[in-house]
């Protein structure tokens, strides 16, 4: 288990959102972040070249690393939100947990009243 994965799990435990069932999603999230960091290093090596010439007159295109990084940022945000690691994601998870507790309480009440 990597440092990032350990940190993510600790953060989620602090927020009260961690469940072992999330481990696969956490692992994928950490892989995406790792890929992003590697691409960012390469991007720095290329002196942050966002647009490059195609070789044909004045035609230019976006650097493939930039395109990949943009895609990874979207994926990372999606996973972070799903894991409750963004304000929006945390709010949704907390709301879901409250509803789950409410439903369990109603079930407990019904079961307790069943025998009386």
CB 106 within 8 A of CB 55: no
Over residues 91-109, the pLDDT tens digits come to 998 888 788 777 767 767 7
**CB count in 10 Å sphere of residue 69:** 18
What are the tokens at 44? 């720095």
| pTM, entire model | 0.74
Q: How many domains does the chain have?
A: 1
Residues of the chain with pLDDT under 70: 53-57, 104, 107, 115-116
Residue 22 DSSP one-character state:
G
Please state, as a whole number, how many other Cβ atoms lie within 10 Å of the Cβ of residue 78. 14
Are 89 and 83 contacting, i.e. CB atoms less than 8 angstroms apart?
yes
Domain hosting residue 66, numbered range: 3-114
């Amino acid at each position: 288990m990597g440092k990032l994965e350990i940190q993510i799990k600790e953060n989620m435990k602090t927020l009260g959102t961690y469940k072992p069932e999330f481990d696969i999603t956490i692992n994928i999230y950490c892989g995406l972040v790792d890929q992003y960091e590697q691409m960012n290093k390469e991007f720095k090596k290329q002196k942050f070249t966002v647009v490059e010439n195609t070789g044909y007159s004045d035609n230019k295109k976006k650097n493939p690393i930039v395109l990949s990084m943009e895609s990874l940022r979207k994926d990372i945000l999606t996973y972070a939100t799903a894991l409750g690691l963004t304000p929006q994601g945390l709010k949704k998870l907390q709301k879901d947990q409250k509803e789950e507790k409410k439903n369990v309480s109603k079930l407990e009440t019904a079961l307790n009243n069943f025998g009386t």
